[in-house]
């Protein structure tokens, strides 16, 4: 992760404390475009959706936005009509301070479910939030959106080969309730086939000149192999949001393919960081599945293995328990021949043709499991299907964080 990320032209950032969080940390953040930006957005497909998700999805469907308003410490989920009013009132206050229409401000929230957002606290700070806007305050924004995150999550890339070409800046939060199932939420759209759900927020900003349709296609393609292939705990939240904005401030031409590559790279870096930062986690594990009939079949097995509590606790114990890996693959609902299975941890093969290689191989694999990150590879045939899933170990720390999350 770069300590000095590339910054796209046409955006400013700010973050202040509005007193939403008990600890007094900065908890309200703003991204403002210098002029209305092209926008594409994906949201959780959990049937229980937070008020800011409903409001932002409606507004993002217009294809243009001037700002994103984010708060941490309160999800404003399961709060009914008062929650919707709070999302609208806070974004309207910021819109007035910015001099734009309320529909141009997209709200997002993260925190405890079931508590009404204290809108007055944010409205009272709206002018100060706008006054603090600066092109250099992206780090403050990235910090303000964190909840149980142990570190900020920021990534950037340049699009294409031109040295002065457009860039992408991505900022995200997420450490628990991570298992995204992100898709389009607007009437008449075909939902992209989903994998899981989560409490994650991600904001991608670029100064490229692109249409809404191009930005949306690139965002969907990037998300499906990154955020939608990432799991900390397999649990479902109400607030997942990924918003991409393009200011058009850099006139260098870019192709959709180059944009997709750049978005995928930053989303991949952030997805890995979220899994690595899983509440109580000590390791990032990449579950890689090969040899199935197609990628969808490989992905289903990778997801099942990545979300298995028995697999994840074995990873925490640095135990090369291949029986748990193979058993999880076998219950994924995908046909394969177990007698052909080969399993490796890093470069250490521990299962060959469905049988254990031996204790020495498992001992070497256990040393791999002590690393910060590693690949667990399941080869289950000779088909072309391949997929990956990012996950983490599951230990005492996760219970400690979540048993006292509201207290």
Q: Which residues are catalytic?
A: 199
Report DSSP letters for 43-111, one per residue: EE--SS--HHHHHHHHHHTTSEEEEEEEEESB---S-HHHHHHHHHHHHHHHHHHHTS-GGGEEEEEES
Q: Within its chain, how far is the Cα of 114 from the centroid?
A: 22
Q: Specify the pairing of strand 284-291 against strand 201-206.
A: unpaired
Beta bridge partners of 242: 42, 202
Which alpha helices (H) appear in 126-238, and where do they start and end? 126-131, 138-144, 212-224
Q: Tell me the C-alpha distance between 70 and 15, whole Å.
A: 9
**CA distances (Å), origin 275, targets 45, 204, 228, 369:** 20, 19, 12, 15
Report DSSP letters for 255-293, one per residue: -HHHHHHHHHHHHHHHHHHHHHT-TT---EEEEEEEEBS
């Amino acid at each position: 992760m770069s300590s000095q990320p590339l910054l796209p032209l046409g955006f400013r950032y700010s973050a202040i404390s509005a007193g939403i969080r008990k600890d007094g940390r900065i908890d309200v953040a703003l991204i403002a475009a210098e002029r209305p930006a092209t926008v594409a957005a994906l949201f959780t497909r959990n049937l229980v959706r937070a008020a800011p998700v409903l409001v932002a999805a409606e507004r993002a469907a217009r294809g243009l936005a001037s700002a994103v308003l984010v708060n941490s410490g309160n999800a404003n989920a399961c709060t009914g009509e008062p929650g919707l009013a709070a999302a609208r009132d806070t974004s309207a206050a910021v819109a007035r301070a910015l001099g734009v229409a309320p529909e141009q401000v997209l709200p997002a929230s993260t925190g405890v479910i079931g508590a009404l957002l204290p809108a007055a606290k944010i409205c009272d700070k709206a002018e100060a939030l706008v006054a603090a806007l600066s092109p250099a305050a992206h780090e403050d924004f990235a910090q303000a959106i964190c909840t149980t995150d142990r570190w900020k999550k920021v990534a950037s890339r340049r699009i294409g080969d031109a040295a002065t070409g457009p860039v992408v800046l991505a900022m995200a939060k997420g450490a628990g309730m991570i298992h995204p199932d992100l898709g389009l939420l607007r009437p008449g759209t075909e939902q992209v086939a989903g994998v899981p759900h989560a409490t994650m927020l991600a904001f991608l900003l670029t100064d490229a000149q692109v249409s809404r349709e191009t930005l949306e296609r690139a965002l969907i393609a990037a998300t499906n192999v990154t955020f939608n292939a990432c799991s900390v705990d397999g649990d479902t939240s109400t607030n997942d949001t990924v918003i991409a904005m393009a200011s058009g401030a850099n006139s260098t031409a870019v192709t959709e393919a180059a944009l997709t590559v750049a978005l995928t790279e930053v989303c991949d870096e952030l997805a890995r960081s979220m899994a690595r930062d899983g509440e109580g986690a000590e390791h990032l594990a990449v579950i890689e599945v090969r040899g199935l009939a197609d990628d969808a079949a490989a992905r289903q097995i990778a997801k099942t293995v990545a979300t298995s509590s028995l697999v994840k606790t074995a990873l925490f114990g640095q135990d090369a328990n291949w029986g748990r890996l193979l058993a999880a693959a076998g219950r994924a609902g995908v046909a394969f021949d177990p007698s052909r299975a080969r399993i490796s941890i890093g470069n250490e093969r521990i299962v060959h043709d469905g049988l254990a290689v031996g204790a020495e191989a498992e001992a070497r694999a256990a040393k791999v499991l002590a690393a910060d990150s590693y690949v667990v590879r399941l080869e289950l045939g000779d088909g072309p299907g391949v997929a990956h899933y990012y996950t983490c170990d599951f230990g005492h720390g996760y219970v400690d964080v979540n048993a006292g999350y509201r207290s």
